[in-house]
Amino acid sequence: MGARKIGPALAAGCPVVIKPASETPLTMLALMPILEEAGVPPGVVNVLPSRSSGAVVGEMLADPRVRVVSFTGSTEVGRKLLHTAADNVVKPAMELGGNAPFIVCKDADLDAAADGLMVAKMRNIGEACTAANRIYVHEEIEGAFVERYTARMAALTMGNGLEDGIDVGPLVNAETRDKVDHFVRDAVAKGAILKLGGVRPNGPGFYYPPTVMTNVPDDAECLRDEIFGPVAAIQTFRDEDEVIRRANDTQYGLVAYIYTKDMRRGMGLAARLEFGMIGLNRGLVSDPAAPFGGVKQSGLGREGGKEGLLEFQETQYISTEW
């Protein structure tokens, strides 16, 4: 996450003060000797770890030398940063939350779609803003698709990620693990059917097993918030107008996924989806050369590509007479 911001900032000629996430500061600290070895001068990139995030960032944004605040995280925290940045008119670049729909059309290649969902759902164990959160499968192929996808999820091994042969490690903290567990229990209580997992394991560590739910009701909490864990919530749909309406029915607009063998259908659906990025027949959209970002409550601005570089630049217009 830090490299995605440091790189374009340096390319634009900007020094950086970066406050890593309080839960995960070590990777950012490990990046600093690498930047030094690569030739970045002392004082150009500065890491400031702290658990007092509000106080530290508040001081940073009050400093008149700060011209851009680039943030990746929750929409809730992003809103607070925007309020603080407004006091000194600091330019914001916000990569915020998501609630990604994953649409499997009637004509989709089911094996390809199941493989794509494994990437879109289980990358980083679901702890990603781009993770597939609401899975819509055409009602005529639901059984065949769920069978394929559940088999793939069941083949994963959960355990200590430092050991060989482990696919699913622990979640980042107890709060995240408990939130995932609550989402599953809420959905099941409202009528969802567990096809796999769904039981929080005993013992140490913030683990939650790969879980597949079908028949997830519309009022399930997991459909309105980021699950941020290894839980697939599957619903069915009947026609394209219906699935577009349901997919767009969210405050978020980061990424959406579509699987279909008909490219014309896929492009048509993509044009109607209110999301900044579309994965068409693929479960991974991130690419350093492409603009990464969302619409609505999923953020402002872009990372990657020339658009990401422009976030750290200003346009100057010079009018003159010779």
Is-catalytic flag, 147?
no
Ramachandran class of 43: left when φ > 0, alpha when ψ lies in -120 to 50, beta otherwise: left
Per-residue pLDDT of 235-267, as tens digits, reads 999 999 999 999 999 999 999 999 999 999 999
Please report, for the chain, the start and end positions of each structural domain, with discontinuous segments joined by +.
2-96+298-310, 100-280
Determine which one of 14, 36, 59, 95 is catalytic.
95
Q: Are 31 and 2 in contact (CB under 8 A)?
A: yes
Strand partners, 212: 196, 232
Dihedral sign, Cα of residue 306, residue 307, residue 308, residue 314: positive
Which pLDDT value is given to residue 250? 97
Is-catalytic flag, 14?
no
- Low-confidence residues of the chain: pLDDT under 50: none
Q: How far apart are CA 171 and CA 3, in angstroms?
A: 22
- In the numeric block, the tokens 């007092």 are attached to 52
Which pLDDT value is given to residue 121? 98
Name the residue among 280, 304, 309, 283 with its Cα closest to residue 294: 304
The CATH code belonging to domain 100-280 is: 3.40.309.10
Which pLDDT value is given to residue 1? 86
Which pLDDT value is given to residue 141? 98
- Long-range interactions of 123-126: CB distance < 8 A, separation 24+: 123/283, 123/284, 125/168, 125/169, 125/171, 125/229, 125/230, 126/227, 126/228, 126/229, 126/230, 126/231
* Rg of the chain, C-alpha, whole Å: 21
Which pLDDT value is given to residue 163? 92
Determine which one of 23, 76, 129, 307 is catalytic.
129
- In the numeric block, the tokens 């997830």 are attached to 216
Q: How far apart are CA 195 and CA 142, in angstroms?
A: 13
Under CATH, domain 2-96+298-310 is a member of which superfamily?
Answer: Aldehyde Dehydrogenase; Chain A, domain 1 (3.40.605.10)
Supply the pTM of this predicted model.
Answer: 0.95
Per-residue pLDDT of 20-71, as tens digits, reads 998 889 999 999 999 999 999 999 999 999 999 889 999 999 999 999 999 9
Average pLDDT, the chain: 96
